[in-house]
Amino acid sequence: MLPRELKNRLNSIGERGEPWSTPQNAFQLLEKSPSFHTRGEFTGTPEAEGNRMANKDMPKDMYFLVKIMFFILGLGTLLPWNFFITAFVYFQSRLVTGNTTVGSSPDRNGTRVHTDEYNFNNWMTLLAQLPLLLFTLLNSFLYQWISDRTRIVGSLIGILALFILTAVLVKVEMSPQSFFSVTMVTIWFINSFGAVLQGSLFGLLGLLPHNYSSLFLSGQGMAGTFAAVAMLLSLASGADIQTSALGYFITPCVGIFISILCYLALPHLEFACYYLNRTSAQSYELEKRAELLLPDEKNGMPNGVLDFKEKSRPVKELRKASVVTVLRKIWLPALCIVLTFTATLSMFPAITANVRSAANVKQRWNDFFSPVCCFLIFSVLDWLGRSTTSYVLWPGKDSKLLLPLLVSLRFVFVPLFMLCNIPEPDRQYLPVFFKQDAWFIIFMTIFSFTNGYFVSLTMCLAPKC
């Protein structure tokens, strides 16, 4: 509805034949209207006014609560994976004898090596990453029929239930074959839920400023550190394997429960509501602007204020983009993140966990070598790499060649790790070229930091494409 004095003024101008046949002139008339200024409806172009009002009404993230919650949600998404891969001592003990006695056999150098009759690390990696791939693709279509809330809360509850089952199985006597089968099924479903959970949360992060994505990814990196430290404390405690494993698997249950509470609290925070409901708000804003651009039949003006020889800009209709359209926009960061994870998961933990220390077998360092040099170093440096993108985003989104080149260079770690000190029978054909512990530590440091950095970098660049 136009103010009465502005409508009279437009009619008088029309009778005198004064030119106002362009949208720019029409908006100049709107600017001169006292009624519009007092009501705050226009002080310039619609774009400028919309931006001014958006900045004025934008709430603040009080006490950084939303940042903290997304950090915890990132922590909760990768806790399952990290707690499974770092509990290799417990799983080997159950698979070798069906009880808590760890089986081992000496290699040629006298080092006692845990036997792995079921190739647990290899099967775990395969049955974790395959559902992660399949359900990530499936989640690209599920969002059209299942709400974010249902997918996120449902996935978290499913992961929590499976971890409770894993903790209960610590006290249940089973044959190695039965235990292996149940564990593999558990890993499959936990990572299926995890894929839906991560995909849904990344969809929400696309509506927030990019530094929230960096914090979420930092939380994922912290999950590995959290699991590695828990494993070291379990080893250092001196408790039997059953007792330490029970406490070990109860810990992520608490973390996932806290993640559920954090997500349920988001709708009660003004800052989160402002961004996560932004699509609806934008649609409402476009509809309000369109009211001024459409013919005003009720006021006796068959042609509206902006119905002139020079047509005004049409209002864009908000439509959901198809998956193919999105892939065309983000194909470069998508390719880079696939290459990054391919290089990482081909080595970690299936190969890197088999590297042994070259130190004397009598030293206690051998018991902590893999937990520290493989899992703890990877987790800490991966977290540092993910956190670095909060300050540096290089190469940028316009780098069509440099980014994929740097990501592809990480495949050099495949032969480097395979030539490290891997004892028989895991090593059968290749020689040991990098026998000293220092080589493995250097490789793991660079390997871990670049993984975290490139994963976080591509995730931050994808929404900008």
Least confident of 10-24, 178-192, 345-359: 10-24
pLDDT above 60 for 208:
yes
Structural domain includes residue 155: yes
Q: What is the pLDDT of residue 69?
A: 96
Same domain, 335 and 456: yes
Q: Which of 326, 343, 335, 453 is nearest to 404 (CA)?
A: 335
> In the structure, what pLDDT confidence band is assigned to residue 319 with cuts at 50, 70 and 90?
low
| Nearest residue to 183 via CA among 140, 232, 119, 234 | 119
Does the structure show a pLDDT above 60 at 19?
A: no
The span from the CA of 345 to the CA of 443, in Å, is 15
CA distance 80 to 176: 22
Q: What's the mean per-residue pLDDT of the chain?
A: 79
Please indicate, yes or no, whether residues 264 and 365 belong to a single structural domain of this protein: no
The answer to whether position 289 is within a domain reads no
On whether both 218 and 157 belong to a single domain, the answer is: yes
366 and 271 belong to one structural domain: no
Question: Among 245, 276, 307, which residue terminates a domain?
Answer: 276
User: Which of helix, strand or coil describes residue 106?
Assistant: strand
Do residues 69 and 136 share a domain?
A: yes
pTM above 0.85, yes or no: no
> Which band of pLDDT confidence, cut at 50, 70 and 90, is reported for residue 299?
very low
Same domain, 74 and 151: yes
> DSSP labels for 307-344?
-SSSPPPPPPPP-PPPHHHHHHHHHHHHHHHHHHHHHH
What kind and span of H or E run contains 11? helix 4-16
Percent of the chain residues topping a pLDDT of 90: 44
Whether residue 23 is contained in a domain is answered as: no
Least confident of 35-39, 94-98, 278-282: 35-39
**Least confident window among 92-106, 117-131, 259-273, 369-383:** 92-106
Q: What's the domain range around 139?
A: 56-276
User: Which residues partner with 295 through β-bridges?
Assistant: none
Query: In the predicted model, is pLDDT for residue 110 greater than 70?
Result: no
User: Does the structure show a pLDDT above 90 at 116?
Assistant: no
The verdict on residue 89 lying in a domain is yes
Partner residues linked to 37 by β-bridges: none
Is 36 a domain residue? no
Looking at residues 254-265, what average pLDDT do you find? 96
Query: Are 261 and 333 within one domain?
Result: no
Q: What is the pLDDT of residue 398?
A: 81
CA–CA separation, 126 and 135 (whole Å): 14
Q: Hey, what amino acid is at 114? A: H
- Residue 460, pLDDT above cutoff 50: yes
In whole angstroms, what is the distance from residue 299 CA to residue 7 CA?
A: 9
Tell me the pLDDT band of 309, cut-offs 50, 70 and 90: very low
Give burial (CB, 10 Å; 0-12/13-18/19+) of 206: middle
Phi/psi for 360 (5° steps) reads: -60, 140
Average pLDDT over residues 139-148: 85
Of 210-214, 292-296, 320-324, 334-338, the range with the lowest mean pLDDT is: 292-296
Provide the CATH number for the domain around residue 169: 1.20.1250.20
Q: Is residue 25 in some structural domain? A: no
Return the pLDDT at 14: 52
User: How confident is residue 390, by pLDDT bands cut at 50, 70 and 90?
Assistant: confident
Q: What's the confidence (pLDDT) of residue 144? A: 81
* Per-residue pLDDT at 305 exceeds 80: no
| Better-predicted residue by pLDDT, 319 or 156 | 156
Same domain, 106 and 229: yes
Strand partners, 301: 296
Coil, helix or strand at residue 31: helix
Amino acid at 315: V
Predicted confidence (pLDDT) per residue in 79-101, tens digit: 988 999 888 889 988 987 544 44
Higher-pLDDT residue of 108 and 223 is 223
Q: Which residues of 81-102 are buried (b: 16+ CB within 10 A; e: fewer)?
A: bbbbbbbbbbbbbbbbeeeeeb
Q: Give the least confident one: 36-45, 163-172, 180-189, 389-398.
A: 36-45
- Residue 147 has, within 13 A of its CA and on its CB side, a CA count of 3
For the chain, how many residues are written? 465
pLDDT value for 293: 43
Beta carbons of 210 and 463 less than 8 angstroms apart: yes
Residue with the bigger pLDDT between 303 and 411: it is 411
Tell me the pLDDT tens digit for each residue of 49-72: 445 445 556 788 999 999 999 999
Q: Are residues 150 and 230 in the same domain?
A: yes
- Gap between the Cα atoms of 209 and 67, Å rounded: 11
> 112 and 236: one domain?
yes
Q: Is 304 helix (H, G, I), strand (E, B) or coil?
A: coil
Tokens of 429: 């054909």
Domain assignment present for 85: yes
CA-to-CA distance for 445 and 416, rounded, in angstroms?
Answer: 13
What pLDDT score does 363 carry? Answer: 65
Residues 116 and 251 in one domain: yes
Note whether residue 106 is domain-resident: yes
Residues 435-458 pLDDT 10s: 999 999 999 999 999 999 999 999
Q: Which residue, 246, 276, 306, sits at the end of a domain?
A: 276
Model confidence at 463, pLDDT cuts 50, 70, 90, reads confident
pLDDT at 71: 95
- How high is the pLDDT of residue 55? 56
Per the structure, the count of domains in the chain is: 2
Identify whether residues 333 and 453 lie together within a single domain: yes
